[in-house]
Amino acid sequence: MVTQAAMASATPPVAARPLSAAGGAGDTGSALVARLGGARTAGSWVGADGRPVVAVTDDATARAVRRAGAEAKVVPHSMNELKSATATLRSAPRVAGTAWAVDYRTNRVVVRADSTVSAGDWSRMTQVATRIGSFVHMERAKGSFTTRLNGAQPILSTGGRCSAGFNVTNGTSDFILTAGHCGPAGSTWFADNQGNQQLGRTVNSSFPGSDFSLVQYASGKAGAGADVVAVGGGKGVRITGAADAAVGQRVFRSGSTSGLHDGQVTALNATVNYPEGTVTGLIETDVCAEPGDSGGPLFSEGIALGVTSGGSGDCTAGGTTFFQPLNKAMSALGVRLIVSAQNAGGAQGAPPSPAPSSPASQGALAPSAASPGSSAPVTGASAGTTLLARLTDTRNVGPGLLVIAGSLIALVATRYFRAEQDRRAYQRRYSAMWG
Q: What is the DSSP letter of 158?
A: T
Out of 27, 103, 211, 293, the active site residue is: 211
Spatial separation of the C-alpha atoms in residues 333 and 166, rounded to whole Å? 13
Bond before 208 cis per omega within 30 degrees: yes
Strands 136-140 vs 108-113: parallel, antiparallel or unpaired: parallel
Q: How many CB atoms lie within 10 A of CB 383?
A: 22
Out of 163, 210, 294, 358, the active site residue is: 294
Do residues 289 and 261 make contact, with C-beta atoms less than 8 angstroms apart?
yes
Q: What is the DSSP letter of 209?
A: B
- Cβ burial, residue 297 (10 Å; 0-12/13-18/19+): buried
Spatial separation of the C-alpha atoms in residues 314 and 360, rounded to whole Å? 26
Hey, what amino acid is at 244?
Answer: D
Concerning whether 103 is annotated as a catalytic residue, the answer is no
Concerning whether 58 is annotated as a catalytic residue, the answer is no
For the chain, the maximum distance between any two Cα atoms, rounded to a whole number of angstroms, is: 82
Which secondary-structure segment (H or E) carries 175?
strand 174-178
Q: What sign does the dihedral 59-56-364-342 (CA atoms) show?
A: positive
Q: What is the DSSP letter of 222?
A: -
Spatial separation of the C-alpha atoms in residues 92 and 85, rounded to whole Å? 11
Spatial separation of the C-alpha atoms in residues 396 and 405, rounded to whole Å? 11
Residue in 133, 223, 144, 114 with CA at minimum distance from that of residue 176: 223
Which residues are bridge partners to 321 per DSSP?
285, 311
Spatial separation of the C-alpha atoms in residues 299 and 17, rounded to whole Å? 19
Residue in 249, 197, 231 with CA at minimum distance from that of residue 362: 249
CA distances from 34 to 51, 54, 84, 306, 370 (A): 17, 11, 17, 22, 26
Out of 9, 27, 114, 181, the active site residue is: 181
Q: Which residues are catalytic?
A: 181, 211, 294
